Amino acid sequence: MAIPKRKGRMTTSSRIYDTLRQDLVNGRFEAGEKVAISSLKARYDVGLSPLREALNRLAAYGLLIQENQRGFRVPRLDRDELDDIAGMRRELEGMALERAIARGDAEWESELLAAAHRLKRADQAPESGDEWERLHGRFHRTLVAPCGSAWLLRFIEQLHDQFDRYRRLAPEAPEVRRVLDAQHGELVALALERDAQGARALMDDHIQRSYEVALGSFSRGRLTR
């Protein structure tokens, strides 16, 4: 068995990239805001070079907008773009889910059950929102993981990050939240039954409802920072 590589191989660049990505997805920057590089330098206590490298990566990834000679901006929240992101999520995650159901093996079933269980426990422990986010992302990743297409997974990941920018700013919607949480379990059930059609339909509905929650980012949500 191969020895697991040292996790410690991290550069300042990569660390700050991860941190900034999280902070951008979680709405810790005002949408549309100009990102003053020197203020980030102070805020995260890093040098210019690794910081700029991280910003360049984030711009290529789509979480920042880069304008030559004018630095970086946080993308605006835009209703049409949210529609686009949600629509693409439906298409791509539906596709990925069907394939995953066709290809996933017994090990996948186990991991899926585990991921769903962890998420369910987090649903009921409302104290740690960040932990819930982590497990939620992980559940959705696990669901589509064996779809067989690395590029499809990559795109889905990217869309999730974009989508979450909106969702995390939206006001809480406890009733919808309860439905969404329940759907996670139903998705697992349909996946285990290998009901691709049913699962895809449910995923579609799941994303649609999430989208409706995320739409809230345009009303009250924007102001509650």
Partner DNA sequence: TTGCGATAGAAAATCGATTATATTGTCTTC
Partner DNA sequence: GAAGACAATATAATCGATTTTCTATCGCAA
Residues that bind DNA (CB under 7 A): 9, 11-13, 34-38, 46-50, 52-53, 66-72
52 versus 118: smaller Cβ distance to DNA: 52
Q: Pick the binder of its own copies from 11, 38, 197, 224 (CB under 8 A).
A: 11
Give 72's strand partners: 35, 66
Range list of H helices, the chain? 12-25, 37-44, 48-61, 79-103, 106-124, 129-144, 150-167, 174-192, 196-214
Site for its own copies in 152-191 (CB under 8 A): 152, 154-155, 159, 162
Sequence-separated (6 or more) residues with CB below 8 Å from residue 218? 77, 79
Instruction: Return d(Cα 27, Cα 49) in angstroms, integer.
Output: 24
Least Å distance between CB 52 and its own copies?
A: 6
Q: Which does 180 bind (CB under 5 to 8 A by kind): DNA, its own copies, none?
A: none
Q: Estimate to the nearest angstrom the gap between the alpha carbon of 11 and the chain centroid.
A: 23
Least Å distance between CB 192 and DNA?
A: 42
Q: Which residues bind its own copies (CB under 8 A)?
A: 9-11, 13-14, 49, 52-54, 56-62, 67-70, 81, 84-85, 87-88, 91, 95, 148-152, 154-155, 159, 162
